[in-house]
């Protein structure tokens, strides 16, 4: 059977040094650093994690972030992205890291005004989180080269001024736990990308500003808001 319309292109994230990682799904965890949970009005304790999704083609390696329509409060959230080479259901914590292909620096861009409204009205979060090009991402680096970072600085600056500064060690739910818990609710598979939450200091950006995000041992990205 042939397709009745042209199939959409495969979404892929460049790999440092060459090659493309094809993306299947994008999962995100909320409030995974205690100080950020507090700034969002939440509880820093280890309450069960919650998840939402972005669209695969929201991942954008271009280094340009088009300020989205219908919002006047678009905020940055620097996050460690985890790319899976394999998945499954009910993955044990001890086997979770064996599913990881590599890591990247990403920014979970958020229409905060629409998120606040969605929360207040108990509506879904997609309108705030899953808009076009809402996840600038740097090149993936393979775990075979850098290992599995569990500590190290995670930072974001806007026009050279430090906004977010944390350490991967401050994650409430660690990468293996995130994979294990997600796999209790979703069948994970090769191509899935997980954004692992943001440290404190989220804030708004404006057109013309430049975001620089870095994670020690993983990389750095520069993204212009256009």
Residue 198 interacts with Mn ion (CB under 5 A)? yes
Interface map 34-73 toward Mn ion (x if CB under 5 A): ----------------------------------------
> What is the rounded distance in angstroms from the CA atom of residue 189 to the CA atom of residue 186?
9
Q: Would you state the structure tokens that stand for residue 100, as one six-digit string?
A: 């990881």
Please choose, out of 12-20, 77-85, 117-125, 168-176, the segment that lies near Mn ion by the rule CB under 5 A. 77-85
Nearest residue to Mn ion on Cβ basis = 108
Q: Which is nearer to Mn ion, 142 or 149 (CB)?
A: 149
Q: Which is nearer to Mn ion, 142 or 194 (CB)?
A: 194
> What is the rounded distance in angstroms from the CA atom of residue 201 to the CA atom of residue 35?
9
> Regarding beta strands 135-136 and 59-60, do their DSSP bridges make them parallel or antiparallel, or are they unpaired?
parallel
- The least distance separating Mn ion from the CB of residue 36, rounded to whole angstroms, comes to 8
Q: Which is nearer to Mn ion, 110 or 183 (CB)?
A: 110
Q: State whether residue 208 is helix, strand or coil.
A: coil
> What is the rounded distance in angstroms from the CA atom of residue 151 to the CA atom of residue 153?
7
Q: Per-residue b/e over 169-183, b at no fewer than 16 CB within 10 Å?
A: ebbbbbbbbbbbbbb
Single out the residue of 60, 77, 192, 212 in contact with Mn ion (rule: CB under 5 A). 77
Single out the residue of 60, 108, 192, 212 in contact with Mn ion (rule: CB under 5 A). 108
Q: Given the structure tokens 């329509």, which residue do they identify? A: 69
Please choose, out of 100-108, 163-171, 173-181, 182-190, the segment that lies near Mn ion by the rule CB under 5 A. 100-108
* DSSP per-residue string spanning 56-102: GGGEE-SSEEPPPSS-S-EEE-EEEEEEES--BSS--HHHHGGGEEE
Q: Which is nearer to Mn ion, 164 or 198 (CB)?
A: 198
Please choose, out of 67-75, 153-161, 190-198, 217-225, the segment that lies near Mn ion by the rule CB under 5 A. 190-198
Q: Which is nearer to Mn ion, 71 or 198 (CB)?
A: 198
Q: Which is nearer to Mn ion, 80 or 142 (CB)?
A: 80
Residue 33 is given by DSSP the state B
Q: Would you state the structure tokens that stand for residue 32, as one six-digit string?
A: 């995974």
For Mn ion (CB under 5 A), the number of binding residues is 3
Contact residues for Mn ion (CB under 5 A)?
77, 108, 198
């Amino acid at each position: 059977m042939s397709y009745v319309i042209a199939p959409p292109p495969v979404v892929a994230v460049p790999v440092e040094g060459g090659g493309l990682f094809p993306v299947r799904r994008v999962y995100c965890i909320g409030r995974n650093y205690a100080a950020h949970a507090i700034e969002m009005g939440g509880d820093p304790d280890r309450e069960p994690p919650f998840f939402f999704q972005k669209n695969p083609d929201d991942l954008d390696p271009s280094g340009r972030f088009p300020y989205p329509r219908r919002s006047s409060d678009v905020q940055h959230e620097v996050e460690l992205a985890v790319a899976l080479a394999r998945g499954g259901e009910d993955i044990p914590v001890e086997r979770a890291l064996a599913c990881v292909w590599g890591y990247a620096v990403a920014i979970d861009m958020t229409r905060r005004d629409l998120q606040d409204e969605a929360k207040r009205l108990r509506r879904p979060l997609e309108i705030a989180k899953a808009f076009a090009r809402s996840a600038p991402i740097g090149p993936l680096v393979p775990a075979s080269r850098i290992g599995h970072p569990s500590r190290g600085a995670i930072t974001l600056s806007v026009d050279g001024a430090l906004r977010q500064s944390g350490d991967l060690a401050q994650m409430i739910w660690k990468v293996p736990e995130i994979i294990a818990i997600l796999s209790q609710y979703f069948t994970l598979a090769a191509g899935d990308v997980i954004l692992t939450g943001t440290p404190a200091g989220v804030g708004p950006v404006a057109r013309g500003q430049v975001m620089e995000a870095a994670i020690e041992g993983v990389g750095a990205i520069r993204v212009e808001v256009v």
